[in-house]
Structure 1
Amino acid sequence: MTKPFFTRHRRLLGVASLCLALLAAAAGYGFAQRPQPVPAGDASAAMLAELRRDTSPWTAHRADLSTLVGDMRDGRISSAALSDEAVYVSTGDGRRYWLADQSGRVGEMILRDYGNGAALFPVSLFDTDGEAPWYRELQAQWPFLMLLVLGAGLAWWKLRPHTRLKHRTGVTFADVVGAAEAKQALSDVVGYLRAPAAFTKLGARPPRGVLLTGDPGTGKTQLARALAGECGAHFIQVTGSDFSSMYFGVGIHKVKTLFRTARENAPCILFIDEIDGIGRRGEQSRASDAEANRIVNQFLTEMDGFAADSGVLVLGATNFPNSLDPALLREGRFDRSIAVGLPTPSEREQLFHLYCAKVRAGADIDHALLARNSVGLTPAAIASIVNQAALLAARDSSAEVGMQHFVDALETCRIGEQPIGASALSETERTRIAVHEAGHALVAAALGCGRVEKVTILPRGQALGVTLVTPTEDKRLHLESELRARIQMLLAGRGAERLHFSEVSSGAGQDLHEASKLALSMVGTLGMGPSGSLLSLQAVREAHLDSDPHEALQAADQLLQQLDRECLALLQRLRPALELITRRLLEDETVPGEEVQAAVRALLGESAGVPRQARACHLERVAASPLANFDPLFDLAVDDLPDYGPGMA
């Protein structure tokens, strides 16, 4: 959508208007200062005209009072001009000089002679308070006035919130792929903003605020713009951090200005991105805490001031809804909370179609396959994958973006970029990494933890070796057996090293870190510990009760020890396959997942690797390296678990 000319060049037009105003002011001042026509034979008028043009012929020669008195007695003065602080004299022989007269005594003496009837030469007034324009004193103080104007402009700029008011966003629900549940939940909001009188006629109170929650990159901002475009309402977008300021009271003023602007432009959607930046009220231990509390209080007061037919809706978006003040989330303020989830397989396929249309994609692109291999990815991640594929095609000097570029971009998103110029590994290190990765892949295939895509001992990102396992379906509910299987998969690399070398290495450090977090979640939050305890440590912390974590740590370690023994027993059964995959990795450096699956089935039968109801856990990648530093999408840390209900993760 092309913006109007005045919208695209409003800054340039503003600067041009300011320059024209300054030129007009300078021209007006020059016109006022230009010399006026002087009547012929009028010596005093001619002298005044010359003085207004330039006083230097007089100020270059300073005389004393005796010179003036002598010239007056001898009649040599042709004309004189009196000002507030000086007397300018012109003589008949062409001399010009001036006398300082701050007290006005010299001027009184000359005027006294006129009172006595001894008018020997014409006298006029020059640059006195009576004839000076009202702005003459201001002109003398122009540097200070300029600083004052600049300071006032800067203060106004700092006090105003950085609002971006748009009359039309140009985006509707039809332009947003996915988020079907969120669109359905916002349907009555569309009706309210289009015709608020229909709600007030029935006595219904429309929602004042809607909170969009979800993972980063799920499209909350795009959904807010689409809501404004669907309703034909004005759209104001700010962030929670825009209300913060180093000056006391500025944040409150910004809140008032923002809501006043929204009311003046109703119907209007006030979108506050990252609304958790406003924070929550707490104890005023510092001055900054008091200011933050006042900002939240003003925000609550402004939301309470909405009339039923005001036509203003506050739309907030956050990734951390627990960080908001509880008073902000109550009914009557943010009446509704809408979760924007991850896209479904069909929605991911539509997203790939959408973003592939923006690049020069080849005819061999299988959008359905890409959608199946991108389980758990957000729309922002899919857009990044398509862009990464285009970059890879440009790096290869290809005429179009092919399917292999998309596969490489997807692997880059999952397991990281291939490092350039990595130092060579010794044969012992290569063998240990191959054993480690083979253990991960075999246990993942045996327990059906997902689809093993590939195993490689080539460095990816900061990992020296990677096992890529993708989930086979979108899941929001995970059983205890699934979580236990994932822990065994994380411990399989370390177990394979113990089985093959009788010694472990530091490459399993990150695996133990992830397994420990998952075990602590199972014991302290999900009630899946070996002792059968159902007490949630998270509830204990929220109740501000003192607790001894020793029992929970001991139970988590007991769970890890138990699963480690089960993992070692499984690897013992898979030892021929472990040696086979290790040998293949040392030869080719990369082994496809089908070969791993075939090796497991040869030992465990056709049922091996078939995910049962208890075997379908999410795993994005497992890295075996002392430099391993990966961030799996499936993260079950105790503090990061979403509140989905009993047994959900």
Structure 2
Amino acid sequence: MKPVRNSLRSRIGRYVTFGVIAAALAGAAMFLHWRHDRREVQTGPSLTGVASQMRHDAVAWAGQEKDATQMLRDIHDGNVAAIGVSPNAILVSTTKGEKYFVTDHNAVFSNALLLDEMKAGSSSPYQLVWLPDADIHTGMARWNDVFDKTRDALSLLLPFLLIGGLAWFMRREMRGGASLLGKAPAIRFDDVIGAGEAKAALADVQAYLTEPMQFIGMGVRAPCGILMTGGPGVGKTRLAQALAGECDANFISITGSYFSAKYYGVGIQKVKHLFELARKNAPTVIFIDEADGLGKRTDTGGGPVEAESNRIINQLLAEMDGFQSNEGVIVVAATNHPDNLDEALRRPGRFDRTVQVRLPDLEDRTKILEFYASKLTAKSDEIDYNQLARLTTRLSPATLSMIVNQAGLVARKAGADEVSAAHFVEAIKIARIGDVSGAERALSEEERTRIAVHEAGHGLVAALLGTGVLEEVTILPRGGALGVALITKTQDKHLYRETEMRNEIQVLLGGRNAELLIFDEASSGAAQDLQEASRIGLDMVSKFGFNVDGNLFSLAALPQQYAGLQLKSAIEHANVLLSDLNDACYALLRANEPVLRAIADQLLESETVPGATVYRLIKEHAAATAEPVHLTLEAAAA
């Protein structure tokens, strides 16, 4: 194979040599032809008078410009003494001594003149001068020349500009958008309402940043990273800012997507720059919001994107590892999905402490509503913030802030000068259920009657079983619902007894059973109720051990691929539970049918019935039938 390769190379070399020789010969031939043509021009008839002056000083003709018509007229009348042809103009000298030029772009007009053949025996009345070096800049030609020079300059500068721009862009990408705040955050822990558990967990970090020598002297390693988990809007970002404010530390805020980049290796440089900036300005709190954007490491078989993501996480792990290298730097991360973080990030030495930021309780919600309402022009004496807090169970501080602002919008829309309690209640309804949609205009009278019976069933069962406080029942469509029975809890609950869950299911089935009792058939309006009741029933028998046959095995203990095999049995048990509760709900409504009809009639008349009216109708019915009223303390208080 080697001789063949050498032979191929020698042949290619010969071809190249022949090509170069041929190109050289062609170039020499063209040069000789050009010299011959030039010699013919130079050895032509000698120029005299104004023609000789035109060849040596063509600029003298640039003072006056005329059009081609005047030049042709002078030629026709025999008034031309000499004509000079340049690449962009025709110079004319008349017998009267007048000098002017005619613009001739690309020598189009002069070529036409030169192609004209003279008759035999005739002589030219003027001298024709070829002026290849004359450059007459006039009119648009001057601007064309400026444009050409500018274009040439830009063509030279463009590569340098592109290289410089690319270098600047890459440098900016490597640095990322991480930067220190102009000054430390001004808020403190006292400015954050609630979140007592999270504040206590951050106390050690605060002590370390303010007095690090106490830790170092005792040989104690302070937390390197804090992972705050919780739902959206619970105040994780505000707690991180309060930590930096308490320690008078610098604050850097980024998101999990900050480390992603278009170019290979840039994400790793961002991690390095981030920690270099933090160490240089220690003490520093680095806050990474939506930390689950980092994802988890995978095997590199997934492709270059996954491999780059793995390298970014590895670099972050290396930067966070160790106490001495990160002295004065604390990383606080927040996420709604902690399970999406890489396990190595959550081990001791990295994010070695997890803080659960919970929803505010009744007392905290009262304070939060008062805090935000203090910025409004409101009738504070008439507003019961404790009552409003009871109506906002399991709502986040961000939602409470939106409710207060919404109350102001409701007041403005109503034309009021001050925000009243009614405006706050309407804002809470908008946040929890939705705004009045106006869909009642498209409902027939039969549909309104069925909706009234349906919502009356929900409200009546809730009031009888005491699943909460029935605030009101309405058939005004809100959001996607055609009617609502507004039920609130007097206190936040974290544990539910079996009886409470069974009552919740009966409330959900109340609307459907009310339709069956009054109309002898149900409608599709109970679809969402059945879905929620089925979910609760399935959890009761498959997770909480609330089985009739005493089965305590939880499907949550099974891997996902095996849980489906046991799901059929769980569904059968849940269906039996739902059937029993459905019979109990129907019997309860049938025993209180007069109250059900009375509530439905008032809904058709006024569209909204207060919860107090429902409780009054229940007591009157019990008194008329001489049956004891079994109301809970919550219902009695209402």
- C-alpha contact (below 8 Å) 1:196/1:309 kept by paired residues: no
Contact map agreement 1:197 1:309 (CA 8 A) in 2: no
Q: Distance in 2 between matches of 1:403 and 1:583?
A: 28
TM-fit CA distance, 1:415: 1.5
Offset of 1:155 from its aligned partner? 2.7
Would you say the 8 A contact 1:487–1:518 is kept in 2? yes
Q: CA deviation at 1:538?
A: 2.2
- Cross-structure match for 1:50: none
1:534 to partner: Cα distance = 2.2
Does the 8 A contact of 1:234 with 1:266 survive in 2?
A: yes
**How far apart, CA to CA, are the structure 1 residues paired with 2:254 and 2:618?**
55
Match of 2:295 among 266, 279, 282: 279
CA shift at 1:427, angstroms?
1.5
Which residue is equivalent to 1:5? none
Is the alpha carbon distance of 1:372 and 1:65 closer, same or farther for their aligned partners in structure 2, counting shifts above 3 Å? same
Contact 1:168–1:233 under 8 Å retained in 2: yes
Q: Which residue of 1 aligns with 2:310?
A: 293
Answer yes or no: is 1:584 the counterpart of 2:602.
Answer: yes
Structure 2 residue aligned with 1:522: 540
Assess, with a 3 A threshold, how the Cα gap between structure 1 residues 529 and 242 changes in structure 2: closer, same or farther.
farther
Corresponding residue for residue 171 of structure 2 = 156
Matched position secondary structure for 2:436: coil
* Residue identity opposite 2:200 in structure 1: Q
What corresponds to 1:323 in structure 2? 340
Q: Which residue of 1 aligns with 2:360?
A: 343
What code does the residue aligned with 1:608 have? L
Q: 1:572 aligns with which of 552, 568, 590?
A: 590
2:256 to 227, 240, 243: 240
Q: Share of identical aligned residues, percent?
A: 46
Give secondary structure in 1 for the equivalent of 2:334: strand
Matches of 1:282 and 1:368, distance apart in 2: 50
Residue 449 (1) aligns with residue 467 (2):
yes
Which structure has more RCO (C-alpha within 8 Å, separation ≥ 6)? 1
Answering whether residue 186 of structure 2 is matched by residue 178 of structure 1, we say no
CA distance in 1 between partners of 2:60 and 2:389 (Å): 99
How far apart are 1:329 and its partner, in Å? 1.4
Q: Secondary structure at the match of 1:607?
A: coil
Change in Cα spacing, 1:528 to 1:324, as seen in structure 2 (3 Å) is farther
Structure 2 CA distance for aligned equivalents of residues 568 and 544 of structure 1 = 37
Matched, 1:144 2:159: yes
Q: 1:608 to 1:95 in 2, by over 3 A?
A: closer
Cα distance, 1:140 vs. partner? 6.0
Q: CA offset at residue 435 of structure 1?
A: 0.9
Q: State how far apart, in whole Å, the 1-side matches of 2:570 and 2:472 are.
A: 36
Structure 2 unpaired stretches of 5+: 1-36, 44-54, 63-151
Q: How far is 1:283 from its partner?
A: 4.6
Q: From 551, 556, 569, give the equivalent of 2:574.
A: 556
1:183-220, CA deviations, whole angstroms, 9 ceiling, x for partnerless residues?
Answer: 12211110101121220110000000111111211111
Give the structure 2 partner of residue 425 of structure 1: 443
**Preserved contact between residue 439 and residue 571 of structure 1 (Cα < 8 Å):** yes
Kindly state the Cα deviation for residue 236 of structure 1 after the two structures are TM-superposed. Answer: 0.7
| Aligned positions, number | 502
How far apart are 1:308 and its partner, in Å? 6.9
Query: Which residue among 422, 425, 436 is the counterpart of 1:404?
Result: 422
Alpha-carbon separation, structure 2, partners of 1:283 and 1:489 = 50
Instruction: Summarize deviations over 1:91-132 as a string: whole Å, max 9, x none.
Output: 999999xxxxxxxxxxxxxxxxxxxxxxxxxxxxxxxxxxxx
> Which amino acid in the other structure matches residue 289 of structure 1?
E
Instruction: Work out whether 1:219 is the aligned partner of 2:219.
Output: no
Deviation at 1:338, TM superposition (A): 1.0
Change (3 A) 1:298 1:422: farther
- Write the letter of the residue equivalent to 1:247: Y
| Deviates further, 506-515 or 527-536 | 527-536
| CA distance in 2: counterparts of 1:93 and 1:382, whole angstroms | 84
What is the SS of the residue equivalent to 1:335? strand
The alignment status of 1:605 with 2:628, answered yes or no, reads yes
Alignment pair present for 1:270 and 2:252: no
Match status 1:472 vs 2:495: no
Equivalent position to 1:311, from 312, 315, 328: 328
Q: Which residue identity is paired with 1:405?
A: H
Q: Who is 1:359 aligned against?
A: 376
Report the CA distance shift for 1:217/1:93 in structure 2 as closer, same or farther (over 3 A).
Answer: closer
Give the letter aligned to residue 526 of structure 1: F
- Matched residues in 2 for 1:303 and 1:346: separation? 38
String of CA shifts for 1:472-505, please: whole Å, max 9, x gaps. Answer: 1111111111111111111111111111111111
Q: Post-superposition shift, 1:277?
A: 1.3
8 Å CA contact 2:233–2:396 kept in 1: the answer is: yes
1:290: Cα distance to partner? 2.9
Q: Deviations over 1:600-625 (max 9, x none)?
A: 3343634324359xx99xxxxxxxxx
1:218–1:340: 8 Å Cα contact kept in structure 2? yes
Residue among 489, 505, 511 paired with 2:529: 511
**Structure 1's 308 and 199: CA in aligned 2 closer, same or farther, altered over 3 A?**
farther
Query: Residues 491, 139 of structure 1: CA spacing in aligned structure 2 closer, same or farther, 3 A cutoff?
Result: closer
TM-score, normalising length from structure 2? 0.73
- Which amino acid is 2:628 matched to? G
Instruction: Answer whether contact 2:455 2:473 (CA < 8 A) is retained.
Output: yes
Q: C-alpha offsets along residues 292-338 of structure 1, whole Å, 9 cap, x if unaligned?
A: 33332222222114427611111011112222222221222111111
**Preserved CA contact (<8 Å) 2:453 2:515:** yes
Alignment partner, residue 217 of structure 2: 201
- Counterpart secondary structure, 1:469: strand
Task: Give the SS at the match of 1:270.
Answer: strand
Q: Distance in 1 between matches of 2:474 and 2:61?
A: 103
| 1:468-507 alignment runs, 5 A limit | 468-507=486-525
SS at match of 1:437: helix
Confirm or deny: 8 A CA contact 1:235 1:270 kept in the other structure.
yes
Contact 1:451 / 1:470 at 8 angstroms: preserved in 2? yes
CA distance in 2, matches of 1:438, 1:177: 38
Partner residue in 1 for 2:399: 381
Partner of 2:286: helix, strand, or coil?
strand
In 2, the alpha carbon distance for the partners of 1:582 and 1:203 equals 72
Structure 2 counterpart of 1:401, which letter?
Answer: V
Q: Output the CA distance in 2 between the equivalents of 1:395 and 1:456.
A: 22
Q: Structure 1 residues 499-508 or 318-327, which shifts more?
A: 318-327
Contact 2:279–2:326 (8 Å) recurs in 1? no
Deviation at 1:381, TM superposition (A): 1.0
Residue 193 of structure 2 aligns to which amino acid in structure 1? V
In the TM superposition, residue 286 of structure 1 has moved relative to its aligned partner by 2.8
* Shift in Å, 1:175: 1.5
Separation (CA, whole Å) in 1 of partners of 2:203 and 2:480: 46
CA distance in 1, matches of 2:325, 2:274: 19
Match of 1:278, as an amino acid?
L
Residues 346 and 352 of structure 2 are in contact (CA less than 8 Å); yes or no, is this contact kept in structure 1? Answer: yes
Which structure: greater helix fraction?
2
Shift of 1:420: 3.9
SS in 2 for 1:460: coil
The residue type paired with residue 523 of structure 1 is: V
Counterpart in 1 of 2:246? 230
What SS does structure 1 have at the residue aligned with 2:482?
A: coil
Contact 2:221 2:323 survives alignment (8 Å): no
For 2:551 and 2:278, how far apart are their aligned partners in 1? 52
